[in-house]
Amino acid sequence: MNQRITEGRRISVQGIVQGVGFRPFVYTQATNLNLTGWIRNISSGVEMEINGSADGVASFLRALQFSLPPLARIDRLTVQECQPNHYTQFEILPSQSQPGDYIPVSPDMSICSDCTAELFDPANRRYRYPFINCTNCGPRFTIIQDIPYDRPKTTMAGFPMCPDCHAEYANPLDRRFHAQPVACPVCGPQIWFEDQQYHHLSNQEEALQTTRDWIRAGKIIAIKGLGGFHLTCDASNDAAVRELRSRKKRSQKPFALMAFSLEIIQKYARVQPEEASLLTSPQKPVVLLQKHTGAPISSEIAPGQNTLGFMLPYTPLHLLLLEPQPGFPEVLVMTSGNLSEEPIAHTDEDAHRRLHQLADGFLLHNREIHTRVDDSVVRLNQGEVYPIRRARGYAPDPVILNQSLPEVLATGAELKNTFCLTRDQYAFVSHHIGDMENYETYQAFQSSVEHYQTLFRVQPKMIAADLHPNYLATRYAQERAEREGLPLISVQHHHAHLAACLADNQQPAEKTVIGVIFDGTGYGTDDAIWGGEFLVGSIRSFIRPYHLVYTPLPGGDLSVRKPARMALAHLWQAGIDWMPELPACQALCYEERTLLRSQLEHHINTPQTSSMGRLFDAVSALIGVQQTASYEGQAAIELEALASQDQPRRVYSFSIEDGQINPAPLLRDIIADWSNGVPLPVLSARFHHAIASMTLEVCQRLRKSTGLNAVVLSGGVWQNMLLLESTTTGLKESGFEVFTHRQVPANDGGIALGQAVIAAANYNSI
C-alpha cells in the first residue's frame, strides 16, 4: 500500500455533528488511516482538512458515509480537493462560531448500552449513578440554553468537572470526549427525596429506595425526569391508579406505562417485531400496543380501550427506579406531572406549586430542565412509525424538505399545538406544546418560539396562522405580524393538514393530489366548521370537490363533549325520528331533548359542520358505545376498540350527490341493524368499512375527473388504525399511490408544518 501523502481534501459537514461524538470518530478514523490535518466545530457544523495517501483518503470518505456514531446524522457533505499542507499530525482545533450560522440540535436520547452496562457494574466509578451519559446518549435539547452546544450554555454549567471526568472529556479517544453533560457522583447532579411538606427524607441511593418503598405502598410520587415531572404509581394497584385519576382530574384518558424490559411488556401486550424496535429505539417513545386480554393491570389504566401505551426506561434514573425485585411492581404508571390539561411541570418551584396536592412524595434532582418536553407517543402503521405526539427523542430534529424555503414562522393549531420554523431545507417542527387556552401552555409556546429562533438562528420574514379567528395561536400571529410589520397568511385548517402530509413525504410544492382530510373540526373558508373533506390540490392551493353534508353542531364544543347530542343532530338533519329506545335518546333526559330540538329548529348556537370526527362520535353514541367524551376522540376511539376484526360481508352506504356526501342512508341502516340486535362489534366494523369504501368511491370519481392518482390521508380521524388500514388497502388495491404521515402526526400536531410550507410556497406572491 502506498502510504505517501499525495492527497489533500477540505471537507465541510452539516447535520447533527456536534455533541454526538463526531470529532472523536473522525480523529480515530484519521489516526488509524495515517491521515494528518485538523477538524473543528463551526456554528454551521464541522469543517476539516485531511492529508494522506489516495487509499487513506478514500477509506476515510467511505467511513464518513457508512460508519457514523449512532446519534450523528449528515445532511450535507462538501468535499474539495486541495494541496497537501505538510501537517505533522491530526488535531482537534478549538471551536469557531460565526453569528447567523446554526446547526441542528440533537434531541434527548435514551441511555446507551455502554452506559447501561457501566450503570450496573459495581466496579465502575459511576455504578448506580443516575446521571451517567456519554456522547452517544443522554440529555441534549432539554438542557441547551444556546448554541454552539458547549457546557457553559447548558444547565450543566453549574457543575464543574472533577479531574477524572475532565480527563475523559478531553481525551479524543474516550466515549465521553466533549460529552457536555458528562458527570459522576463526585462532581455531577444528585437526587433526593422529599415528602409533601418538603421535608428532605433521603439522598442518593436511599432516595431511590424511599421512592420504591412508597410506590410499593401504593403512594403517588412526582419524579423529576428528563423533560419534566412524571406522576408515578403502581399500575397494578387499582386504588392507587384511581386516586391518581381523581387528583389529576383526569377521569378516563389513558395513562402511559413504563416497564424495565421488553420481556415484561410482552406479558401485558402484543409486541410485533417492528414495535419492539420502536420501543428499544434511541428515542424510546410511548408505543401504543394491543393489550392482552386479562393482562394483570388495573382496568383504570385505559378504560374502554384495547391498547396500552408502554415505554422502556430512557434515563439511568428510570432504569434504577424500575429495576426488577420480588414484590416491587413490574409496571409503573408514568403520566405527565400536571393537573388535567396543564403543561407538564418542569422546574422544582413549578412542581412544588402545581404538584403539591397531586403527589405524596417527590424524587428530585438538581440538574435544571431548560425546556419542558413531553414523552412522545407513536404507533405502528404498515411496519413504520406513525407519530401521535411528537416530542422527546424526535424534536427538535427538523423535517427535511425537498427544497430550500424562506424563513417562516407557522403558529399551528389551538389544541395539541406545535409551531414550525423554516430555514434552508429544514422545517423545525416544535415539540408538542399543548392546549393554548391554558395560560401556562401559552407562555411555554411564546418562550419556545423564542428559544427555537435563537437555537436555529431563524428570523421570520413571514408568519402563517390558522384561519380560525379565535385560536390563540392565530391571535399571537396577528399581534406579532402587526408589531414586526411582517406579512401574515391565514391558512385553512384542512389545507394545512394536506400540505403537512405532502411535506412529511418530501413532496414538491407543485405535486397535486387528492386529499382525504378527515378531522374533528376546523374553520372553513365559508365560515362553516369543516372536517370531512375531499380536497384536490397541492401545497400551493386547493379546491373542495366533495364534503360530508352540513349538519348542525348544537352548542359547538358542547356537542363535542356530549356525542349523544351529535347523534340526535345527525338524525334531525337526516329527517330520522328520535326513537326513545335509541341509546343516544336514553342518554339525554326529556328536557334536554326538548331543548335540543328547539335549539336545532331555531338555529340557536348551531354552527354547520361537515366533520367526519363528529360522525364517528354520533355513531358511537347512537348505538350506545359512549355518550360523553372526557378526552378528545374518546367516543370514536371506543367505537374502534370494540370493532370486530373480521372483514364484514356487508357495509353501510352513503348517498353522494353534487359533491355532498350524505350519511342519511347509513344512519338508517345502522338503526335498522341495531333494532335487529346485530352485535355492536359487527355494527362498528360495518361502519368503519363503510367509511373506507365511501372514501374509495369518491377517490375513484376524482381520479376519473382529474386524472390524479395520488391520495393523501391526513387529519385526526386517521389515527383510527382500523379505518386507516382498511382505506389504505382498498386504495392500493385500486392502484392509488397513498401518502400517510411518517414524521409529524396526522392530528393537529402536524398543522404547523403544513402552514409553513403553504406560506413559503406563496411567499413570492405576497
Partner 1 sequence: MGHGSGGKMTQDLIKNVFYPYFNSTPLSEGNDFARAALPESANLKGRLSISTDCHSVSPIQFPGGDIGKLAVCGTVNDMCMSGALPLYLTAGFILEEGFPIATLQQIVASMAAAAQEAGVAIVAGDTKVVEHGKADGVYITTSGIGWIPESRTIGGQYAQPGDVVIISGSIGDHGMAVLTARGDLGFEADIQSDVAPLNLMIANLLQAAPNTHVLRDPTRGGLATTLNEIVQQSGVGMILNETEIPVRPVVRTACEMLGFDPLYVANEGKLIAILPAAEAQAGLQAIQDSPYGDQAAIIGEVVAQPLKRVLLRTEMGTTRILDTLAGEMLPRIC
Residues noted as catalytic: 23, 41
Q: Which stretch binds Zn ion (CB under 5 A): 180-188, 370-378, 531-539, 607-615?
A: 180-188
Q: Which does 115 bind (CB under 5 to 8 A by kind): partner 1, Zn ion, Fe ion, none?
A: Zn ion
Angle between the 664-675 and 612-622 helix axes, to the nearest 10 degrees? Answer: 20
The helix (run of H) or strand (run of E) holding residue 424 is strand 420-429
Provide the 10 A C-beta neighbour count for residue 473: 25
Based on the shown chain and the rule CB under 8 A, indicate whether residue 558 belongs to the binding site for partner 1: yes
Spatial neighbors of 691 by CB under 8 A, at least 6 apart, are 518, 612, 723, 727
Per-position x/- string for 610-629, each x denoting binding to partner 1 as judged by CB under 8 A, each - no binding:
---x----------------
CA of 273: how far to CAs of 74, 266, 311, in Å? 28, 11, 15
Based on the shown chain and the rule CB under 5 A, indicate whether residue 186 belongs to the binding site for Zn ion: yes
CB of 68 to partner 1, least distance (A): 39
Contact residue for partner 1 among 109, 415, 569, 670 (CB under 8 A): 415
Contact residue for partner 1 among 82, 167, 186, 604 (CB under 8 A): 604
Contact residue for partner 1 among 104, 520, 563, 745 (CB under 8 A): 520
CB of 762 to Fe ion, least distance (A): 21
Contact residue for Zn ion among 30, 48, 57, 115 (CB under 5 A): 115
Q: Is 519 left (phi over 0), alpha (psi -120 to 50) or beta?
A: beta
d(CA 650, CA 627): 26
Q: Is the peptide bond before 69 cis (omega within 30 degrees of 0)?
A: no
Based on the shown chain and the rule CB under 5 A, indicate whether residue 632 belongs to the binding site for Fe ion: no
- The answer to whether residues 33 and 67 touch, using CB atoms and an 8 Å cutoff, is no
Task: Tell me whether residue 300 or residue 748 sits nearer to partner 1 (CB atom).
Answer: 748
Q: Which does 134 bind (CB under 5 to 8 A by kind): Zn ion, partner 1, Fe ion, none?
A: Zn ion
Q: Which residue matches cell numbers 365511501? A: 694
CA of 70: how far to CAs of 12, 113, 137, 703, in Å? 20, 12, 9, 44
CA of 636: how far to CAs of 288, 612, 613, 747, in Å? 16, 10, 7, 14
The helix (run of H) or strand (run of E) holding residue 37 is strand 36-42
Q: Which stretch binds Zn ion (CB under 5 A): 161-169, 280-288, 294-302, 640-648?
A: 161-169
Closest CA to 445 of 454, 453, 434: 434
- The answer to whether residues 392 and 732 touch, using CB atoms and an 8 Å cutoff, is no
Per-position x/- string for 423-442, each x denoting binding to partner 1 as judged by CB under 8 A, each - no binding:
-------------xxxxx-x
Could you say which residues in the range 480-509 bind partner 1, by CB under 8 A?
493
d(CA 481, CA 748): 22
Based on the shown chain and the rule CB under 8 A, indicate whether residue 3 belongs to the binding site for partner 1: no
Based on the shown chain and the rule CB under 5 A, indicate whether residue 112 belongs to the binding site for Zn ion: yes
Based on the shown chain and the rule CB under 5 A, indicate whether residue 165 belongs to the binding site for Zn ion: yes
Based on the shown chain and the rule CB under 5 A, indicate whether residue 435 belongs to the binding site for Fe ion: no
Closest CA to 50 of 8, 17, 12: 8
Closest CA to 507 of 763, 761, 764: 761
- The answer to whether residues 42 and 35 touch, using CB atoms and an 8 Å cutoff, is no
676: DSSP letter: T
Closest CA to 139 of 117, 112, 159: 112
d(CA 410, CA 465): 6
Contact residue for partner 1 among 602, 707, 733, 735 (CB under 8 A): 602
CB of 143 to partner 1, least distance (A): 27
C-alpha cell at 392: 422527546
Burial class of residue 89 (count of CB atoms within 10 Å of its CB; 0-12, 13-18, 19+):
exposed
Q: Which amino acid would we find at residue 7?
A: E
Based on the shown chain and the rule CB under 8 A, indicate whether residue 342 belongs to the binding site for partner 1: yes
C-alpha cell at 426: 429544514
Based on the shown chain and the rule CB under 8 A, indicate whether residue 162 belongs to the binding site for partner 1: no
Based on the shown chain and the rule CB under 5 A, indicate whether residue 748 belongs to the binding site for Fe ion: yes
CB of 529 to partner 1, least distance (A): 6
Q: Which does 378 bind (CB under 5 to 8 A by kind): Zn ion, Fe ion, partner 1, none?
A: none
CB of 447 to partner 1, least distance (A): 13
CB of 434 to Fe ion, least distance (A): 15
Contact residue for Fe ion among 519, 533, 640, 669 (CB under 5 A): 519
Based on the shown chain and the rule CB under 8 A, indicate whether residue 592 belongs to the binding site for partner 1: yes
Based on the shown chain and the rule CB under 5 A, indicate whether residue 300 belongs to the binding site for Fe ion: no
Based on the shown chain and the rule CB under 8 A, indicate whether residue 521 belongs to the binding site for partner 1: yes
Task: Tell me whether residue 80 or residue 586 sits nearer to partner 1 (CB atom).
Answer: 586
Which residues form the interface with Fe ion (CB under 5 A)?
519, 522, 748
Which residues form the interface with partner 1 (CB under 8 A)?
249, 339-342, 413-416, 436-440, 442, 468-472, 475, 493, 519-523, 529, 531, 553-561, 592, 594-596, 598-599, 601-602, 604-605, 607, 609, 613, 632, 716, 747-748
Which residues form the interface with Zn ion (CB under 5 A)?
112, 115, 134, 136-137, 162, 165, 184, 186-187
